[in-house]
Amino acid sequence: MSNREDELDRMIEEALDAEDRELMKTYGQEEGYFSQALSTFRGKLGWVMWLAYLMNIIGAGVAIWAGWHLFQTTDPVMAIRWGIGALGALNMGLFFKGAMGIHGETQRMMRELKRIELQIVRGQARESV
């Protein structure tokens, strides 16, 4: 993080009262990489991510299998066919890997928006009292 971001975090921390600081300690910390990656398999779209993961594994397996045959054949026509199959399967695997990454980033953004929403609601509740 840059100094500007650190200073902004410090200013936000100073503006919070004790109760908000406790909430920020509980919910404000960003999850680790593996926790974020595994969280994509939970929730309403968890089954879709499991399916994408399975298709990613199948695509990688088919790409390896086709690549093996590509380098074992001596016929140029068969080499082209196996090469196209390997590239297609690799492309499929990369597509699903990208979709899983986008879903993870979407979850991260939604979590941050919920934190902001909580802070806004809590601020409005304090003003109305």
What residue segments make up the domains of the chain, in order of their start? 39-104
Mean pLDDT, range 15-32, rounded to an integer? 67
The secondary structure element, H or E, covering residue 124 is helix 76-128
Distance CA 52, CA 47 (A): 9
pLDDT band per the 50, 70, 90 thresholds, residue 114: confident
pLDDT per position as a tens digit, 32-63: 778 777 888 888 888 988 999 999 999 999 99
Residue with tokens 């990369």: 94
pTM above 0.75, yes or no: no
